[in-house]
Amino acid sequence: MKKALILMGLSFFTTLSSSLTAQDQPDHKLHIIIIGAHPDDAEKAGGTAYKWIQHGDEVTMVSVTNGDAGHQSMKAADLALRRREEARKSGEVIGAKYIVLDNHDGQLMPTYENRLQIIKLIREAHADIVIFPRPYDYHPDHRYTGQLVCDAAYMVTVPTILPEVPFLKKNPVFLYMEDGFTHPEPFKADVAIDIDDDIEKKMDMYHQHTSQMYEWLPFNQGILDQVPKTDAERRAWLGKTKKHESDATPYRAKLIELYGKDKGSKIKYCEAFQDSEYGTRLTKENLKHYFPFLP
């Protein structure tokens, strides 16, 4: 009788354990989803994404549109296919899954249907951390991606919203990616991550986006004639012209606070994030849990 009760208890424990979501496990690996508007937008957090993956965590990168308007000459359907493949290769550089939704570039709107897409993605990723753009930007797709994630933030925990996809029992941490916009309010870094050891990986990710780095963006900026011809020359040129976007200088005080004066004052490249206040709050107590590679 005693043995039967023990076996029943073990069976109950096994069943209970298997029914728990990843978020319920105290020592589970982190699940991070990075949501951008276009293929090549989520790469803005690519250095930190690589750190999480090296730590054994799982990163999903998302483009909410298919990028089919981002070229000076290619047809939309052909460009969408090309950019989807470029995104796949970019994720492959660091071992991240890359999802490209089939919404038209330049036409994204903060509709209920699009909000459900975001809710579904965050739930299916079992997200502990959601990284996304602030809803202040020159590009409407960037703004509306930020708004869609904000609108989805609480709803990922509501069982009656999109009931066919299991809800999250714990709201993720929702973090804004850095930007330089000051209206209606400037970005404020709550955490800054040293990516000196990962900057080349980040550039390698961008390098996969040939249609953007070496065709559309240079055309749009009037510097297409400066783009080198060979692959090796292009990669070197990209490093010289794009690394400055990860310049650590604006976040020096935060880096010194987190890494100490000696190291923090020497960091050249970093990625910074701001607590959006829409989910689980980022605190001094849980900072090391969500960013386990901090000292």
Per-residue pLDDT tens listing for the chain (295 residues): 433 433 334 333 333 333 334 454 555 799 999 999 999 999 999 999 999 999 999 999 999 999 999 999 999 999 999 999 999 999 999 999 999 999 999 999 999 999 999 999 999 999 999 999 999 999 999 999 999 999 999 999 999 999 999 999 999 999 999 999 999 999 999 999 999 999 999 999 999 999 999 999 999 999 999 999 999 999 999 999 999 999 999 999 999 999 999 999 999 999 999 999 999 999 999 999 999 999 9
CA angle 211, 206, 141 (to 5 degrees): 70
CA distance 13 to 17: 6
In CATH terms, the fold of domain 25-290 is Rossmann fold (3.40.50)
Burial (CB count <10 Å: 0-12, 13-18, 19+), residue 203: buried
With beta carbons less than 8 A apart as the criterion, state whether 278 and 153 touch.
yes
First vs last C-alpha separation in the chain: 53
Of the candidates 138, 133, 129, the one whose C-alpha atom is nearest the C-alpha of residue 174 is 129
pTM (2 decimals)? 0.91
Q: Largest Cα–Cα distance in the chain?
A: 84
Secondary structure of residue 128 in the 3-state scheme: coil
Domain ranges within the chain, ordered by starting residue: 25-290
Residue 34 makes CB contacts below 8 A (sequence gap 6+) with 42, 45, 49, 59, 60, 61, 62, 131, 132
CA distance 198 to 266: 15
